[in-house]
Every structure is written in C-alpha cells, then in structure tokens.
C-alpha cells in the first residue's frame, strides 16, 4: 500500500504530512485507535514533527479500535503544526524529530495526545478517553 502524503499551508510555508493508523492498548483488554501524524516543513531531511493521537471516540465493546473510524482533518494537523512552532520546533533544522507529548497539553476536538505508544507505563488511554467524554 502506498503512503499518501498531504500538504497544508501555515503562514508562508507549505508543510507535508502523513497519518498512520494504529492501535494502543489500555490497562485492560481494550484497544483504542491511535493515529501517528508526522509533518515536515523543509522536506524529508528537515526536522519532523510527530504526534501520537488517541481517538476520543467511544464505541461499544472491549475493543473500540475495531469500530472507530476517526482520522485527523487538515485543521487538526494545522493545530499540531502551530503548537509545535510555538513550542520551538524548527522545521528547517536538519534531521531528528520533535515530538508532541501528553505534557504539552494540546487537545484536539476528536483526539488527545498520548505517550502510551512509546511508553507502556504512560497514562491509561481508556481512563483518558472516559474523562474526555465526561468533560
């Protein structure tokens, strides 16, 4: 399967981005949809912005990821890019990755940032999705 690259414009710069659909396990038997977004502002050799997005969708059953169709819109990626730039991401720097984490406090309409993909001891995604639905 071919990777689909998309573009969006923020200010005077055009950013290329892609989103990869995956899953993240909760503390129980449940699994949630997780979408990894990567964006570049100076080509593939520039410093990438990366964020793991936990879907806030709630669906019946123990494995919400099976019925969740959430996918970030261009407006969501624009917020990620703007937030990364505000935090000091330099897309023109050569190589490396600037990761947005839970500590950055960004919440999108349909997604939360999650560290669970890289850190199995990070906050339980199920509890976070439930709290977001209650708010």
pLDDT at 1 (0 to 100): 46
* Cα–Cα distance, 65 to 32 (Å, whole number): 4
Residues 6+ apart with CB under 8 A from 65: 23, 31, 32, 33, 34, 55
Domain membership of residue 105 as a residue range: 6-134
Percent of the chain at pLDDT > 70 equals: 92
Confidence label for 66 from pLDDT (cuts 50, 70 and 90): low
Indicate whether 90 belongs to any domain.
Answer: yes
- Whole-number Å distance between alpha carbons of 46 and 63: 37
Within-domain flag for 1:
no
Domains identified in the chain, total number: 1
At 4, the pLDDT band (50, 70, 90 cuts) reads confident
Specify the higher pLDDT residue, 30 or 86. 86
Residue 71 belongs to a domain: yes
Kind plus residue range of the DSSP H or E element containing 54: strand 48-55
Asked if residue 12 belongs to a domain, the reply is yes
pLDDT tens-digit series, residues 36-64: 999 999 888 899 999 999 998 876 655 66
């Amino acid at each position: 399967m071919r990777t689909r690259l998309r573009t969006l414009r923020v200010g005077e710069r055009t950013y290329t981005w892609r989103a990869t659909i995956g899953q993240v396990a909760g503390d129980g038997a449940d699994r949630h949809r997780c979408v990894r977004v990567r964006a570049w502002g100076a080509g593939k050799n520039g410093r990438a912005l990366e964020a793991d997005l936990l879907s806030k969708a709630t669906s019946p059953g123990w494995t919400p990821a099976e019925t969740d169709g959430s996918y970030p819109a261009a407006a969501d990626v624009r917020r990620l890019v703007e937030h990364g730039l505000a935090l000091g991401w330099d897309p023109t720097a050569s190589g490396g990755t600037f990761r947005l984490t839970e500590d950055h406090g960004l919440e999108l309409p349909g997604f939360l940032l999650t560290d669970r993909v890289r850190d199995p001891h990070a906050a339980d995604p199920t509890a976070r999705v439930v709290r977001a639905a209650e708010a």
